Structure 1
Amino acid sequence: MGAAVRISARCTAPGSACPACGARSTRVHSRYLRRLADAPAGAQATAIDLLVRRFFCDNDDCPKRTFAEQVDQLTFRHGRRTLTLQRLLERLALALGGQGGSRMAGHLPVAVSGTTLLRQVHRLDVPDAEAVEVLGIDEFSFRRGRTFGAILIDMKTRKPVDVLPDHTSQTFAAWLREHPTVTLVCRDRGGAFADGAQRGRPGIPQVADRWHLLDNLATAVEKALRRHRRCLQPPQQPAAAEQDPVPAPDSDAQERVRDRWAQVQTRRQRGQQIQLISDELGLDRKTVRRYYHAEHVDEVLRTRTSRASRLDPFTTYLTARWEEGCDNAQTLRDEIAVRGYLGGRKSVRRFLNALAQRRGPLPAAEPPLKVSDVARTIIGRSENQTETARQNLKDLCDRCEHTRETTRLARRFATMLRRLDGHRFTQWLADADASQVKELHTFAAGIRKDLAAVTAGLTTHWNSGPVEGNVTRIKLLKRQSYGRAGFPLLRRRILLAD
């Protein structure tokens, strides 16, 4: 029918089962036409005109006297859509939300509003949390920095099992009491979840997340490096030896003198006299005589003598400052003004330009190392580091004892974390306490408050990576709702979306 497909069908089964008591009946009460929207066929809207029957229920104990038959895998009670289309719209609503799902459905094409899609999500049943042995938990924000919830993950299947309306220890403890199958909790370094696990299941093993441990270590290393920021500045290179000045290029007048001297000398070698040369070249006889008797062009080139300048007494100072790396004319003018200079900035600028032309440009000053780059080199994997970064760190450690000690301890901890060498953790704590790096003292003191969980994190293979991945997924689901989704809707999308 134009841009749509219409299918006419009828039920041919001899009977149907009562939805209330299950008794089958073959006595037809009446028939009526049901129009069902179906999934599109060939990018065309599809509908099914289905002739269905209403049967009598012959079970005297059944509260229903009549019932309408349902077609398996096609219809459901009070449904205006087929099961295929209904499931498709539910998937769209869970994945894209209301408005996004409505726009996508329009391309199928299926006409449905965003509000209708959200109603489909609200009607879905949320399954009860299955038996979980290894549980992962982390917080996420409903409104950044204001209200928070918590997501619970089955670490074996890496799928969410429940969502809590807040991230308090009381709520988490109550959930653990209702689920006694949990034998291990993976969490971050937050104290609320540690306290909640202890309240809900006293003595339950807990595992601290290794990424958060590495992040805490990076923070401590950056603080230690900032305290010795001066060491990050590369040492100044000794001033280069005085080079012979590069001769300045000839001016246009000097080029003309060289050309005329060459022409005169060429005619002289031919045996021509001064008068004849003067007539041919159109030059004065005295000029030709001077070029004629000069054995080298330098004899006729005039050397320009510079006039006395107010800057002359300060040229030595300006040259020294230029070699130190200062080429700002205004800065140098202010410095020599204190010493008695009365001229302006332009004279200083011309002198610096001439100095650079004779000796070449100054090498660019090497920038100081960035704290974040050095910290990344210290705790990062060696295979991911460039040769330049490794050499910069080596030079920094050679000139700074504090950085060398920080690097040694931080790399030991990072290696221990990656290799799960938790049996060496006690010795590392003792070495950190004996070091002179107070930032690592603070880091070690914080670890001791959560020693059992940290030791487990450095020993077992369990980690909170799957939890962090689900938190990232929650951020996407939140943004699709533009901040207008309440907790019931968001919880259903988190638990039911693929």
Structure 2
Amino acid sequence: MLIEVDVETRRLVDLVPDREADTRAAWLAQPPGIEIVCRDRASFFAEGATRGAPQALQVADRWHLWHNLGEAADKCVYRHRGCLRPTPAHPEELHDPQHDLALSRAVTTEETFSGQWQSRAHARRLQALPRSALAGRLHQRLETVGGDQGTGYCPRGYAGVRAYVSRTLRGKSQPVGPRPPSARAAARWILTHPDALPAGDRLQLKAVLANYAELTALAEHVRPFGYMVAHLQGDQLPTWIEAATSATELPSLRSFAQHVERDLDAVTAGLTLPWNSGVVEGHAIRIKMLRPQMFGREGFDLLRKRLLLA
């Protein structure tokens, strides 16, 4: 079902039974003098408007543009989500010959986790590892030393060592520091105007952008587009598309820019003219409120008549 609204009077004009391009083209060909068609960027909307009202100026809705950009930004941040987590030391950095010697001299499993043989620096590096990685490293060391020879080590293999690590670390202090942000939180920070961010989020975003070039590049593309949406600066769109399509490290953003370029005239109009299809959303909510009141008897014809005669 498709809702047709007069954006000047903000009144519902008609309900169309489906969203096919042929149906929309046939409907648009009936009313004379259509000058502007507000739509989102779906292909059947564009095709129907072009065939049904070729004389009309098509205007892409700004909210849908920003929503599509937000989806592309979410995918970009998720693609680089690994950089949001604390990076553990590399295996070669964790390898400490003195620590290996001390570990081989440990008599019981408890001495593996306590005692003067473990340096603080190495302890901090081990704490940065997830429990599964720590258990795996310990299991390798125990196999090297010979854990099944009555030396006090757990003889149950990897599963037993992992269970022991979990029991030993439970209730003890964990690595100190703020919890790393999720990919969704980082994307929300990038999509929010810097002046509207709380102070804490602004500091975390600054730290993220200072360390990771890919997310910094994403923010540098998102903010100019947000400025165009907020201030109706559609004349800057070609420059933005050229910069975004060259961002090979951000494939989702590049794909979004390429799709915008294919619908350049409508998007430019949407970022230049004050018209939008926001009033349609209000009527859609109204229909969702009325349908339950009709107790399952809201056939298309009855629903259309009730809305048009209200």
TM bin, normalised by shorter chain, reads: 0.7 to 0.9
Q: Which residue of 1 is the match for residue 6 of structure 2?
A: 154
Supply the distance in 2 between the matched residues of 1:209 and 1:327 (Cα, whole angstroms): 46
**Deviation at 1:163?**
0.6
Identity %: 35
Query: Measured at CA, do residues 215 and 231 of structure 1 come closer, stay the same or move farther in structure 2, by a change above 3 Å?
Result: same
Q: Which structure exhibits the higher relative contact order, with contacts defined as CA atoms closer than 8 Å and separated by 6 or more residues?
A: 2
2:27 maps to 1:196: no
Amino acid of the structure 2 residue aligned with 1:446: H
Supply the distance in 1 between the matched residues of 2:140 and 2:268 (Cα, whole angstroms): 61
Deviation digits for residues 261-298 of structure 1 (CA, Å, limit 9, x no counterpart): xxxxxxxxxxxxxxxxxxxxxxxxxxxxxxxxxxxxxx
Query: Measured at CA, do residues 423 and 351 of structure 1 come closer, stay the same or move farther in structure 2, by a change above 3 Å?
Result: closer
Residue pair 2:124, 2:175 contacting (<8 A) in 1 also: no
Match of 1:324 among 102, 116, 126: 126
**1:147-226 map, 5 Å:** 149-226=1-78
SS at match of 1:206: strand
2:228 maps to 1:422: no
The structure with more radius of gyration: 1
2:112 maps to 1:314: yes
Residue pair 2:61, 2:270 contacting (<8 A) in 1 also: yes
Amino acid of the structure 1 residue aligned with 2:227: T
**Deviation at 1:214?**
0.6
Match of 1:390 among 202, 213, 229: 202
Match of 2:280 among 467, 472, 492: 467
Query: Measured at CA, do residues 310 and 481 of structure 1 come closer, stay the same or move farther in structure 2, by a change above 3 Å?
Result: same
Deviation digits for residues 171-230 of structure 1 (CA, Å, limit 9, x no counterpart): 222222221132111111112121111111213101101111011111111222222221
**1:441-460 map, 5 Å:** 441-460=254-273
Amino acid of the structure 2 residue aligned with 1:438: P
2:294 maps to 1:481: yes
Equivalent residues, number? 275
SS at match of 1:368: coil
- TM-score, normalised on structure 1? 0.49
SS at match of 2:29: helix
Q: Which has the higher helix share?
A: 2
Supply the distance in 2 between the matched residues of 1:431 and 1:351 (Cα, whole angstroms): 53
Amino acid of the structure 2 residue aligned with 1:314: T
Supply the distance in 1 between the matched residues of 2:166 and 2:8 (Cα, whole angstroms): 74
Query: Measured at CA, do residues 351 and 321 of structure 1 come closer, stay the same or move farther in structure 2, by a change above 3 Å?
Result: farther
**Deviation at 1:161?**
1.0
Supply the distance in 1 between the matched residues of 2:297 and 2:267 (Cα, whole angstroms): 38
2:178 maps to 1:378: no
Supply the distance in 2 between the matched residues of 1:388 and 1:475 (Cα, whole angstroms): 39
Supply the distance in 2 between the matched residues of 1:410 and 1:350 (Cα, whole angstroms): 43
Q: Which has the higher strand share?
A: 1
Residue pair 1:186, 1:207 contacting (<8 A) in 2 also: yes
